[in-house]
Chains A and B, each alone.
Chain A
Amino acid sequence: MSNGVHEIEDAALLFVFGYNGADSHPIVARRIVRAKQKGAKIICCDPRRIETARIADMHLQLRNGSNLALVNSLAHVIIEEGLTDDKFIEEHSTGFEEFKELVKNYSPEAVAERTQISPQEIRQAARMYATSGRSMILYGMGVCQFAQAVNVVKGLANLAIMTGNFGRWGVGIGPVRGQNNVQGACDMGALPNAYPGYQNVTVPEIQQKFEKAWGVPLSNKVGIPLTQVPHYVLHEPEEKKIRAYYIFGEDPAQSDPDLHEVREALSKIELVIMQDIYMNKTGQFADVLLPSTGWNEHDGVFSCCDRGFQRIRKLVNPPADADVLTDWDIICRISTAMGYPMKYDNTEQIWNEVISLCPSFIGATYEKLEKYVNIQWPCRSTDMSDKGTSFLHKDGKFANPDGKARFSSIDWQPPVELENNEYPLILSTCREVGHYSVRTMSGNCRLLRNLEDEPGWVQMNPELCEELGVKHGELVKVLSKRGSCIARCLPTDRVKKQAVYMTYQWWIGACNELTNAVLDPISNTPEYKYCACRVDKIEDQQWAEKYVLDEYAKIRENMGISEQPKGGKAA
Chain B
Amino acid sequence: MNSFVQGDPLLCIGCRTCMIACVVAHEGKRIFEIDPDGYDFHPKLKVVKTWLVSVPVQCKHCENPACQAVCQVGAISRIDGAVIVDQTKCIGCKSCVDACPFGAVRMAPLGFETNPDGSRRAVANKCDLCTGLDGGPACKRVCPTNALRLVERENIDEILTYKRAESLKTAAATISPSITV
Contact = CB atoms under 8 A, between A and B. Distances in A.
A33 B13 contact: yes
A30 B54 contact: no
A448 B51 CA distance: 25
B11, B20, B145 — most chain A CB neighbours (10 Å): B145
Nearest to B9: A54
B16 interface: yes
B13 A451 contact: no
A21 B53 CA distance: 16
A55 B11 CA distance: 8
Nearest to B32: A446
Nearest to B147: A33
B141 interface: no
Range for the number of chain B residues in contact with chain A: 20 to 34
Q: Would you call the interface of chain B mostly helix, strand, loop, or mixed? A: loop
B37 A564 contact: yes
Contacts, number: 65
Given A26-B144, A30-B144, A492 B49 contact: yes
B14 interface: yes
A450 B36 CA distance: 9
A29 B13 contact: yes
B36 A54 contact: no
B19 A451 contact: yes
A25 to B, nearest CB: 10
B11, B13, B36, B54 — most chain A CB neighbours (10 Å): B13
Range for the number of chain A residues in contact with chain B: 20 to 34
Contact of A22 (B14, B23, B41): B14
Q: Would you call the interface of chain A mostly helix, strand, loop, or mixed? A: helix
A36 B10 contact: yes
Interface in A19-55: 21-23, 26-27, 29-30, 33, 36-37, 49, 51, 54-55
A494 B49 contact: yes
A19 B125 CA distance: 37
B15 interface: yes
B41 A33 contact: no
Contacts of B53: 54
B52 interface: yes
Contacts of A27: 144
Interface in B1-23: 9-17, 19-20, 23
B49 A433 contact: no
Interface in B39-55: 41, 49-54
A447 B16 contact: no
Contacts of B17: 26
B20 A51 contact: no
B41 A450 contact: yes
A279 to B, nearest CB: 16
Nearest to B53: A54
Contacts of B50: 493
Interface string A2-32: 0000000000000000000111001101100
B10 A22 contact: no
Nearest to A448: B20
B24 interface: yes
A231 interface: no
A144 B27 CA distance: 42
A492 B129 CA distance: 30
B36 A433 contact: no
Contacts of A447: 20, 23-24, 31, 41
Contacts of A446: 31-32, 36
A453 to B, nearest CB: 10
A41 to B, nearest CB: 14
Nearest to A21: B13
A451 B36 contact: no
Contacts of B9: 54
A300 interface: no
A23, A37, A54, A448 — most chain B CB neighbours (10 Å): A54
Given A33-B145, A54-B52, 8 more contacts: A30-B144, A33-B11, A37-B11, A54-B54, A446-B32, A451-B41, A492-B49, A493-B51
12 contacts: A21-B13, A29-B13, A33-B145, A37-B11, A433-B13, A446-B31, A447-B20, A447-B31, A450-B20, A450-B41, A451-B41, A494-B49
